[in-house]
Structure 1
Amino acid sequence: MKNLLSKILIFIVGILIGSIITFNTLGLILGNILYQELSDPKLNINLTGIINHSQDLTNINTLEQTLPNAQKIVLPTTYNDKQNLTGTFINNNSTKTVILIHGLYQNRSMSINYIDTYARLGFNVLLIDLRGHGESGGTITWGQTEIKDIDTWCNYLRSTMHQNTIGIHGVSLGGAFALLHSGLSTQSADFYVEDSSYSDLKSLYYSHLHNMIQLPTNSKILDILWMYSQVCMYWHTGATLDMLSPRMAVQKATVPILFLHGDADTLIPPATLSDLYNNCNSPKEIHMFKNSIHAQGITDYPEEYNQVIHDFLLKNNLLQ
């Protein structure tokens, strides 16, 4: 009888251990699939509804061929992942440069509309492809590696192009990476402009994943799936999205930041603007574009957009 009970107990423990191993294995497999799909534009899971233009280089190729002062630049990453970063430098014979960073599933072509904004203020302009987009290698790491990529560009501008002032202007995902750089990099730029950034990617993707998977609002499935995806993200990058929050990063910023958003943005709620602004402890300005949807401020109100940036730079003694 005693031996039978021991066998039954061993059997039950074995079942429990096997179930735990199976559950975790399945969770890690699904979590890794989610992480990979979120991090590779070529897979185009399209959680946000954004059309994938990351490989459409038509406009930037045309610009480089027709604009005499445009130069394509390819830099190797300065750490051991053996990727190349690609950008286009617009030389306006200045010692000041603004780095323009595009949004998710785009490439440096998206930044063309912002060239004149800074050229008229006497800045050179550097349009870059984020890793995993356009002609840059690698995959998205939601800021963990992109911060180092931005450092690589800043070092290039200072050491090779002999630039004295460097600003960073990012739109949507590019705006989020600009804010992450402002607080998490040891090589801060001289100023930042963010347009339509999220404050916390976790809450944003929760909303879009709920809509995509059609789960009840009180479902715990997404919580479990997200937990495993973040375990996989940490395995791949050494960070989780909780560690890569623009809201948290701006608390550590020390240089001027301009926060921009459209009040009709349905992709990233307009309330995000106040959330970011209120958490920022450095010199800051804020502006909302009326009836403007996601990342369309410069298209809807070009003169107002340019004036807001001019006033921000002037106020912070960055136009001298």
Structure 2
Amino acid sequence: MNIWCWIALIVALQGIIFMLLVPLVIYNVLFRRTKPTKWARTCSMPEDPEYVRMYEQGLAWGERYRDRIEEVSIQNDGLKLCGRFIDFGQPKTVIIIPGRTEAGEYSYYFAEPYRRLGCNIMAIDNRSHGLSEGKVASLGFREYRDILAWGRYLHEERGSTQILLHGICIGSSTGLFALTAPDCPDYFRGMTADGMYTAFYHSFKNHMLEDKRPLFPTLQLTMLYIRIFSGANVVTDGPRRRMPWLKKPILFLHGREDIYSTPDQVKELYNICTSEKKLVWFEKGAHSRLRMNQPEEYDQAVVDFWREKC
């Protein structure tokens, strides 16, 4: 083999290594907790004024009811999971499930309509977030078992006879996985889905397109690393696959301006859902920011739907 063949081989190998390495770096940045301060109980986007306002308004809500807040923890899958129980002395509790990078305090922002409904609030740190243990974000594929464990805690230790779920983005997928699990207890009554996607693959792809990043092979390899390290099949499994299994009521809240979980995705989910359902559209608000732009309409949609159910 002459020198030019060796050079070509070396260049090709370097290209392959680079091609494999870049998605691995992306995976570690986006889906693995590499230090305790990552995905902590802080505002995840301090550079975004709208996001900061959401977070600060949530903290202000928590401050109003600080005498009712209790730090609690459970064990599941060998992990210590932490959260805050806001006790309003009610038999109903809502578990608010934040998306990736967010911890329990973020959930305060979405709690008010459920307080109006007469619910206690369970604001959880998902595994690998906040004070909870864990290293990997598995995008609902493992986290849903934690939701069932939180439900058992609320039912057995707190006397909650009815449990609702409110999921934001990935949190809505997690909630759906929990409600469609074969061992989901009857005291789980249903869920609100804010910004649900058909499969995480599509939402992540839309993020990459917005950032004007080349899709191939980075997108495909990142999905592969998610499968290898967390066991999550985010390409063919997700809400689209599991929605037909749902037998409990679901309220879809979705924005027409959502460029990640696009409107066509929730239309598809709504159409294949065979359980009791309602879809409420919001004209303003980016992904996960519907309530920030139309707070009265958001809260009233939640209250109106669930007041009839529990």
* TM-score range relative to shorter protein: 0.7 to 0.9
CA, structure 1 residues 301+266, in 2 after alignment: closer, same or farther (shift >3 Å)?
same
**Partner in structure 1 of residue 89 of structure 2:** 93
Match of residue 176, structure 1, among 173, 182, 205? 173
**Partner in structure 1 of residue 122 of structure 2:** 126
Distance 1:306 1:237 in 2: 35
**Partner in structure 2 of residue 311 of structure 1:** 304
Match of residue 45, structure 2, among 41, 44, 51? 51
CA, structure 1 residues 208+293, in 2 after alignment: closer, same or farther (shift >3 Å)?
closer
Distance 1:292 1:228 in 2: 31
Report whether the alignment pairs 1:238 with 2:231.
Answer: yes
Deviates more, 1:116-125 or 1:184-193: 184-193
**Partner in structure 1 of residue 28 of structure 2:** 36
Distance 1:174 1:309 in 2: 16
C-alpha displacement of 1:298: 2.4
List per-residue Cα deviations over 1:59-83 (Å, max 9, x = no partner): 659937962111111222x223xx3
Report whether the alignment pairs 1:258 with 2:258.
Answer: no
List per-residue Cα deviations over 1:272-291 (Å, max 9, x = no partner): 22122112121111100122
**Partner in structure 1 of residue 287 of structure 2:** 294
- Flag structure 2 segments of 5+ consecutive residues without an equivalent: 2-9, 39-43
C-alpha displacement of 1:115: 2.2
C-alpha displacement of 1:25: 6.8
- Flag structure 1 segments of 5+ consecutive residues without an equivalent: 1-7, 9-17, 45-49, 216-221
Q: In the alignment, residue 157 of structure 1 is paired with which amino acid?
A: L
Q: Is the 8 A contact 1:169 1:194 kept in 2?
A: yes
CA, structure 1 residues 230+273, in 2 after alignment: closer, same or farther (shift >3 Å)?
closer
Q: Percent same amino acid at aligned positions?
A: 25
**Mapping 1:137-156, distance limit 5 Å:** 137-138=133-134, 139-156=136-153
CA, structure 1 residues 297+234, in 2 after alignment: closer, same or farther (shift >3 Å)?
closer
CA RMSD after TM alignment: 3.4
Q: In the alignment, residue 33 of structure 1 is paired with which amino acid?
A: V
**Mapping 1:49-128, distance limit 5 Å:** 51=45, 63=62, 67-76=66-75, 78-80=76-78, 83-128=79-124
C-alpha displacement of 1:236: 1.9
C-alpha displacement of 1:31: 4.2
TM-score under structure 1 length normalisation = 0.77
Distance 2:183 2:14 in 1: 42
List per-residue Cα deviations over 1:64-119 (Å, max 9, x = no partner): 7962111111222x223xx3211111111111110011233222222212222111
Distance 1:291 1:230 in 2: 31
Q: Is the 8 A contact 1:258 1:286 kept in 2?
A: yes
**Mapping 1:217-236, distance limit 5 Å:** 222-236=215-229
Distance 2:132 2:46 in 1: 15
Match of residue 163, structure 1, among 142, 150, 160? 160
Matched position secondary structure for 1:51: coil
Matched position secondary structure for 1:87: strand
Q: Is the 8 A contact 1:105 1:133 kept in 2?
A: yes
Q: How many residues align?
A: 290
TM-score under structure 2 length normalisation = 0.79
List per-residue Cα deviations over 1:124-154 (Å, max 9, x = no partner): 1111112222222222111111111111111
CA, structure 1 residues 155+27, in 2 after alignment: closer, same or farther (shift >3 Å)?
farther
Matched position secondary structure for 2:180: helix
**Partner in structure 2 of residue 5 of structure 1:** none
